[in-house]
Amino acid sequence: MDRDRIITLTWLLEELFYKFSKLNMHQIKQNLENKGFSYTIDEINLAISILMIDYGKIVRDDYWSTEPTYKYIFDRYFQNSSYTRHYYSFNVDDCNDKKFLLISDTHIGNPELENFQMVQNIYNFAISNGVNKCFHLGDIFSGAYYEKWNQDEMQHQLDLFSNYYPKNSEIRTYSLIGNHDESLHSFYEYKKSYEKSIYDLRQLSKFIQNFYVIPRYTWEAAFSNVNVKFSHRLFLNWMIRDKKLSCLDEIEKDNIFYSDTFNMLISGHLHKGFVLNNKFKDKEQLLLGVPSATNININGVVAYIVSLNYNDLGNVDSADITLLLCDSNNKITSGETINWNFKKENKKLKKVF
């Protein structure tokens, strides 16, 4: 892209945000056209990334049913600070049934694990089943594996993502940052060049428009009466960061969950999936471990589709968790569906996939 053209667009966008404070992509494009300027969506995405990442002058608010909006940060104290770097807002803005895809640990850049055809087929299967949202639980990339730590290797992983990760316009993906992503995320903070440097994984959306990185390792979303906690690792409390699958018995026995704020905890990191329920302060909680969507799980469970079912009063009554299976030809099929009722006591669940 033309450097001077993008710099001019960045100035124009800052003027627009200063005037209107809050804008979505459609409104940005319309305002530019009204002023006689013609820019592509890719160019606008790049200019937005510069304002959001490089300058910290805007932040993004996400919504379930409408497109994201960007809002201007008027207070210079908060511009380009930890506030803008870690800001994240997600609003579930209606009371209809929700379906979303859960994937994790794609480890792009590790040829022994990565499987782009599997991931593409998972997306295609989800779309054919009425899903338009995906939550990625982190470890998008493999980062600095095999002791490689140079700009060419990091750029190679970014190129793989931009060239081969699914670009389906029918589905929007939100991804956490995993422990393997941390190395790439930090590496580029010190290697800034205008053309290639990322230095903040939120800029992945300039490669794939419907892929948004949540600049955190964990966050919560409220689906009416049901609070869902998303996390890369299985956080139990501030002292115990993650548990391996062999420790499910210990998790169940110790009953040391740090919070009663969530009804469902969804985590990645462990590469194998699991489901386990727990009772804490008289509240039933469902723990859902999302498997790795890589070669490690060929002929096994590679992802889930979750359906949250609302009643006439706008509250969530139950969840259906459908296991997605992948064979050696990367064909995706649906497996067992696990039902969870948020209103009644559930049977004991304890499964590892």
Question: What would the pLDDT profile of 115-164 be if each residue is shown by its tens digit?
Answer: 999 999 999 999 999 999 999 999 999 987 655 567 778 888 999 999 99
Convert the pLDDT of each residue in 253-276 to its tens digit: 655 555 678 899 999 998 999 998
Vertex 266 angle, CA 62 and 90, to 5°: 10
- How high is the pLDDT of residue 197? 45
Convert the pLDDT of each residue in 39-70 to its tens digit: 998 899 999 999 998 899 999 999 999 999 99
pLDDT band at 207 (very low <50, low <70, confident <90, very high): confident
pLDDT band at 344 (very low <50, low <70, confident <90, very high): confident
Average pLDDT of the residues of the chain: 87
Residue 233 has pLDDT above 90, yes or no: no
Q: How far apart are CA 285 and CA 313, in angstroms?
A: 22
- Tokens 């985590």 correspond to 267
Return the half-sphere exposure (C-beta side, CA atoms, 13 A cut-off) of residue 120.
11
- How high is the pLDDT of residue 24? 95
Pairing of strands 316-326, 264-267: unpaired
Question: What does the block give as tokens for 292?
Answer: 């790795």
Convert the pLDDT of each residue in 118-132 to its tens digit: 999 999 999 999 999
Kindly give, in sequence order, each residue whose CB lies less than 8 Å from that of residue 230, ignoring residues fewer than 6 positions away: 135, 137, 176, 218, 219, 220, 221, 266, 267
Residue 198 has pLDDT above 60, yes or no: no
**Which structural domains are found in the chain, ordered by start?**
1-94 (1.10.10.10), 95-352 (3.60.21.10)
Q: How far is CA 62 from the centre of its chain?
A: 12
Higher pLDDT, 130 or 179: 130
pLDDT band at 92 (very low <50, low <70, confident <90, very high): very high
- How high is the pLDDT of residue 283? 80
Which one, of 44, 10, 14, lies nearest residue 29 by Cα? 44
Q: How far is CA 342 from the centre of its chain?
A: 24
Across 174-183, 248-257, 301-310, the highest mean pLDDT is recorded for: 301-310
Residue 90 has pLDDT above 80, yes or no: yes
- How high is the pLDDT of residue 176? 95
